[in-house]
Amino acid sequence: MKISNLLPGKRDKRWLMYIPLLMILIIFVLSALACGILKISIHSSDLMLFAVLAFLASASICGFSYAGLYIAAVSCLTGLAAGILFMAYVFTQPVQWAGIVGLVSGAQLAFLFFLTGVCAQMLYYLSKKRRRSYGGK
């Protein structure tokens, strides 16, 4: 069974319903990392920061998927995973303020993946348009 058969198609409203679910999952993962690795208690300000980051990530992933921009969506999802893994790595390093350094570093890495995905999506459509103008499919 292919994964693409399980996911909704382009312009399907279910993508918009996935935003809060993905947001809750991201908040849970970030909170678990902070509690597990840093051994800190999570306060409301931490949860608010996690919620903002989770909303931006889930809205971009689900929004790109809703629009049918799957290269950008997969790149955002990959960036989210890479950012969280890098964040966990920085959390374990002997630096001052490991929590905020890890959070900022992970967000920067995820943003770089986001930009790469958007650029790759634009190049894909540009090459597709150019092929059509030369009589290709």
The per-residue pLDDT for 3 is 66
The per-residue pLDDT for 133 is 73
In whole angstroms, how far apart are CA 109 and each of 44, 57, 123?
25, 12, 21
Q: Residue 1: inside a domain, yes or no?
A: no
Within 8 A by CB and 6+ apart from 131, the residues are: 137
Q: Residue 95: inside a domain, yes or no?
A: yes
Dihedrals phi, psi of 93, to nearest 5 degrees: -85, 150
Q: Residue 98: inside a domain, yes or no?
A: yes
Within 8 A by CB and 6+ apart from 47, the residues are: 27, 31
* Residue-wise pLDDT tens digits, 47-61: 898 999 999 999 999
CB 107 within 8 A of CB 85: no
Segments forming the whole domain that contains residue 24? 6-133
Is the pLDDT at 1 greater than 80? The verdict is no
CB 55 within 8 A of CB 23: yes
* Residue-wise pLDDT tens digits, 81-137: 999 999 888 888 888 888 888 888 999 999 999 999 999 999 999 988 877 777 665
Q: H helices of the chain, where? A: 3-6, 14-37, 44-67, 70-91, 98-133
CB 71 within 8 A of CB 117: yes
What mean pLDDT do residues 6-29 have?
Answer: 90
When divided into structural domains, the chain yields a total of 1
Q: Residue 34: inside a domain, yes or no?
A: yes
Q: Residue 97: inside a domain, yes or no?
A: yes
The per-residue pLDDT for 38 is 78
